[in-house]
Structure 1
Amino acid sequence: MSEFGALNWSILIVYIIANLLLGYVLSKKITSSDDFFLGNKTTPWWAIGISVIATYVSALTFLGAPAWAYEEGMGAIAIHLNYPLVIIAVVCLFFPFFYNAGVASIYEYQEKRFGKKARALVSTIWMISQTMSSAAVLYATSLVLSFIIGIDVISAIFIVTIIALIYTMLGGITAVIWTDVIQSAILFIGAGIIMYALITEMPSNFDDTLSKLKDMGKLDPLNYSFDFFKTTTVWSGVLAMTVYHITVYGTNQMMVQRTLAAKNIGDAKKSYLLMGFLAFFIYLFFIVMGVLFYGYYDGREFENPNTIILTFAADYGLPGLMGIIAAAVMAASMSSLDSALNSLSTISTLDFYQKYFAKDKSDAHYLNATRVFTLLWALIIIVPAIMYHLHAAGSILEILTKVGSFFVGAQLGMFALGFFSKHTTERGLLVGTVAAFATVTYVALATELAWPWYAVVGVTISVTVSIIASIALDGFQKEWSEYTIKGQLRSFINENKPMKENGWYLVPGKIDSINYLLFAFFVVSILSLVLFEHLVA
């Protein structure tokens, strides 16, 4: 504790208190459960976009991406090439359904398309997967606290949970968004200082270090191998991880809920497009940092690679730097955690409690219920967080993504069938979803297939089995559902509704012009990596 120093402690404590106070001030605007779930729809799109970035980046990227790149080299960037494709798919297919319906729970779509059982199933799948990912965030934050203070990680998990719970109980998606904006600025300031120090403090000439890293294969960003047992290939990044990340950004209540707080669909889309253009640079930054750490430490082994960046910050010795880093990582992680708790409590209240156990209660009752569920989910998340600590080996970012791969295939399959299938029914969908999860579990436990492909396996099984089971159980359907893309387009035409609002498409399946620019950015980013691979000596 004494090594951390008074200055660092002051920075950390002041920053945590400042975030709590900001959350408290903004929470004063909460007068109803709708305010807690969606805010008052006055939040600017750029703030929502930064919040989306901050929530998904958090400490998992700050600690995990350098740790991953330390082992894998620049090849780790392959997993993150797909964001432009992902954002195009989500804003063109998912957003119109969610935003036009004016819902707080995006899984209400499944009920409208298929039925109550489908909604309950997809909500349950999401809650399980979100619990696991939130536990990873909690573990990452506790790892930082343990490293700084010197207490064991399990004790730190309980401490961080209490802090995050208090912060979240202040409530409201608006508070979550604005604290994310501030927290992301601190996070990247800290990362920028680390990168500058790393480059200037290299033990040997920087050019010589790059040459050495190149000779060791650490600077090769693109692996064109068709080996499906390797994780970081171009094909797993562009194909398999596109499927994975579409689920993360399109069917994840935690990510989508903040965009539903936008003023209109155009602002909702712009907030995600910001992520589409910036994600590649953010992940590239942290992956390059990890590769440079390999050169700085000459490939030395760490007991826990997730502490590499913290070890460097401590060794560098700049007054106040450890305080800034600790504040940035803890604040960003708690930002992700409070977003998760807010969304988990939202789904628990709307999709289960209000629907099945307490219909027609007052708004104040549901607001109180939401806060109770927030407390319960905080307690639940502690268990897998401790499991991560006891069994985690390697990058927590990779661990989180691997765990999520078990769920995303079945989850995305449910939405893909809803959007595009004419003949899928609820009974067939339930059979297909169970079959998809069972298949992915078998593949993960009994084969050596690289985990990015789990999502592809899950979607393939989900779609195929669901359609076959639907036709077998309920026969061919005569009409397209109103909640398919074709049904929505027909509805807009028949009811003479405007296709656009302020220049942005309201109907799903239509591509806004800026998405073509985003696709061009995707092509340029890959070509840039190819050029880099050939230019570095």
Structure 2
Amino acid sequence: MNEFGALNWSILIVYVVANILLGLVIGKKIKTDQDFYIGQKNTPWWAIGISVVATYVSALTFLGAPAWAYNDGISVIAIHLNYPLVIMAVIIFFFPFFYNAGVASIYEYQEKRFGKRARALISSIWLVSQTMSSAAVLYATSVVLSFITGIDVIAAIFIVTIIALIYTVLGGITAVIWTDVIQSIILFAGAGIIFYALVTEADVSVIDSLTQLKAEGKLDPLNFDWDFTATTTVWSGIIAMSLYHTTVYGTNQMMVQRTLAAKNIGDAKKSYLLMGFAAFFIYFFFIVLGVLFYTYYEGRTFENDNTIILQFAADYGMPGLMGIIAAAVMAASMSSLDSAFNSLSTISTLDFYKKYFRKNETNAHYLKATRLFTLFWALLIIFPAIMYHLHSSGSILEVLSKVGSYFVGAQLGMFALGFFFKQATENGLLVGTFAGFVVVAAVALGTDIAWPWYCLIGASANIVMTLIASRIIDGKQTELSEYTVKGQQLKFAREGLDEKENGWYRVPGRVDRINYWLFAFFILTIVFLWSFQYMV
């Protein structure tokens, strides 16, 4: 702990105190439970967009992406090719339903489309999956603090939880968004310093490093093999992971909730479009960092791959750098944890406590309940984080993705059935969702199929079994629900509603012009990666 030094401790402490003070300032404006959930609808779109980026990039990318690329090479980028397609799908189909309804819980859609049991089911699935993924984020951060300060990993888990909990309880979603903005600046500043140091400290030039990496097969970004047991193929990235990430960005309360704080649907869409255009560059940067580390350390084996970037920072020896890196990783971590705490407490209050236990209380009562639920989830997440510490040594980014893959198929299937299938009923949905979990478990335990395909498999099983069970249990449906995509389009036409608001579509299924630019950007990234392997 003494090796960390006074300068590094000062940097880290200033960062922590600044986050807590910001929570205190914003917390003074929190008067109702709605303020806590979605703020006062005056947050600028760019701040929400940066918050979205910071939340999903997180410490898992800062540590896990270089670790993953260190072992598997630049082909890891295939998993992240799909963001333009994902963002297109979410803002075309998902956002209009959520934003037009004026909800704080996106799972209210399931109740309107199917019924109370469907809402309770998907809310429960999300609570479990988000707890596990947040625990992975918490573990990743504890690794950092332990490595660079000497604090015990388990003690670090408690420390990070308490810090993120304080300002989240105080300031709600608005504090989450604005602290995320600050945290993203620190995160990318730290990553930029590491990249500069790596390039200048290496014994060989970047070009020579890339040449050597290519000879070792580390610079083949596009693997077109139809090998369903391989994780990082083009097809797993474009097909399987497009569905996976659509679930993350479209059916995940933690990601969507901050966009509900936007002034209008146009601002909500713009906040996500920022991620659509920026994600490729962010992940490509961290993955290239990982393969350059492979050259720098000559492929040496690490006890825990997630500490590679930290080991380099320690070896570099720049005064204050470890403090900056510690603050950067804590920033990355807390940008995810604060969002998770806020969203977990929101769903607990709205989808369960308010709905089934205390239906007619005051706003002040629900605000207090939400803050208590925030405390509850923060404490609960500590336990799976400790389990990750005891049983994980590979890339924490890949570990998180594997954990999430067991749940995303069910979530995506439930929304797809609601959006597109007239014949789906609530009874059938309950049967189909259970069947989807069984199929995914059987595939995971009985085959070598790679985890990116679990979402497609689970969602497909859910959809097929739901439609069969719906017909058997409830018979043929003659009425089209207004909460399908087609139903919404007919409603807008029947009632003469404006399809656009400030130039942005409010009705699901309509394509805003900028989406065509986003698709063109996706094609350009494929062309760039195809060319990249011939540039070196």
TM-score range, shorter chain: over 0.9
- Deviation per CA, 1:387-415: give whole Å up to 9, x if none: 11111131000000110000000110000
Cα offset, 1:442, TM superposition: 1.4
Q: In structure 1, what is the equivalent of residue 124 of structure 2?
A: 124
C-alpha distance in 2, partners of 1:137/1:33?
27
- Deviation per CA, 1:160-209: give whole Å up to 9, x if none: 22222222221311111011001101110110010011111112243322
Q: In structure 1, what is the equivalent of residue 405 of structure 2?
A: 405
Cα distance, 1:164–1:476 mapped onto 2, change above 3 Å: same
C-alpha distance in 2, partners of 1:313/1:472?
61
Structure 2 counterpart of 1:193, which letter?
I
Q: In structure 2, what is the equivalent of residue 362 of structure 1?
A: 362
2:189 is aligned with 1:186: no
Mapping for residues 197-236 of structure 1, pairs under 5 Å: 197-236=197-236
Contact 2:22 2:167 in 1 (8 A): no
Structure 2 counterpart of 1:159, which letter?
I
Cα offset, 1:210, TM superposition: 1.5
Structure 2 counterpart of 1:288, which letter?
V
Moved more, 520-529 or 316-325: 316-325
C-alpha distance in 1, partners of 2:347/2:417?
22
Contact 2:144 2:326 in 1 (8 A): yes
- Deviation per CA, 1:1-54: give whole Å up to 9, x if none: 121111111000011101110111011110000000000000000000000000
- TM-score normalised according to structure 1 size: 0.99
Q: In structure 2, what is the equivalent of residue 318 of structure 1?
A: 318
5+ unaligned residues in a row in structure 2: which ranges?
none
SS at match of 2:498: coil
C-alpha distance in 2, partners of 1:168/1:29?
13
Cα offset, 1:316, TM superposition: 0.5
Q: In structure 1, what is the equivalent of residue 77 of structure 2?
A: 77
C-alpha distance in 2, partners of 1:491/1:480?
11
Structure 1 counterpart of 2:44, which letter?
P
SS at match of 2:220: coil
C-alpha distance in 1, partners of 2:240/2:335?
28
Q: In structure 2, what is the equivalent of residue 111 of structure 1?
A: 111
C-alpha distance in 2, partners of 1:395/1:328?
18
C-alpha distance in 2, partners of 1:498/1:352?
34
Cα offset, 1:297, TM superposition: 0.3
The ranges of structure 1 where at least 4 consecutive aligned residues each deviate by more than 4 angstroms after the TM superposition are none
Moved more, 158-167 or 313-322: 158-167
2:134 is aligned with 1:138: no
2:422 is aligned with 1:422: yes
Cα distance, 1:205–1:505 mapped onto 2, change above 3 Å: closer
Cα offset, 1:332, TM superposition: 2.1
Mapping for residues 92-491 of structure 1, pairs under 5 Å: 92-491=92-491
2:70 is aligned with 1:67: no
5+ unaligned residues in a row in structure 1: which ranges?
none
C-alpha distance in 2, partners of 1:512/1:6?
52
Count of residue pairs the alignment pairs up: 536
Moved more, 269-278 or 16-25: 16-25
Moved more, 203-212 or 18-27: 203-212
C-alpha distance in 1, partners of 2:222/2:502?
40
SS at match of 1:449: coil
Structure 1 counterpart of 2:97, which letter?
F
SS at match of 1:517: helix
2:58 is aligned with 1:58: yes
- Deviation per CA, 1:302-331: give whole Å up to 9, x if none: 000000001101111111111111001112
Q: In structure 2, what is the equivalent of residue 19 of structure 1?
A: 19
C-alpha distance in 2, partners of 1:424/1:489?
19
Between the aligned residues of both structures, percent identity stands at 74
Root-mean-square deviation (CA, aligned residues, Å) is: 0.7
SS at match of 1:418: helix
Cα offset, 1:443, TM superposition: 0.9
Moved more, 166-175 or 404-413: 166-175
Structure 2 counterpart of 1:512, which letter?
D
C-alpha distance in 2, partners of 1:120/1:371?
21
SS at match of 2:3: coil
Q: In structure 1, what is the equivalent of residue 40 of structure 2?
A: 40
C-alpha distance in 2, partners of 1:472/1:342?
40
SS at match of 1:65: helix
Cα offset, 1:335, TM superposition: 1.9
- TM-score normalised according to structure 2 size: 0.99
C-alpha distance in 2, partners of 1:166/1:441?
38
Contact 2:104 2:260 in 1 (8 A): yes
Structure 1 counterpart of 2:157, which letter?
I
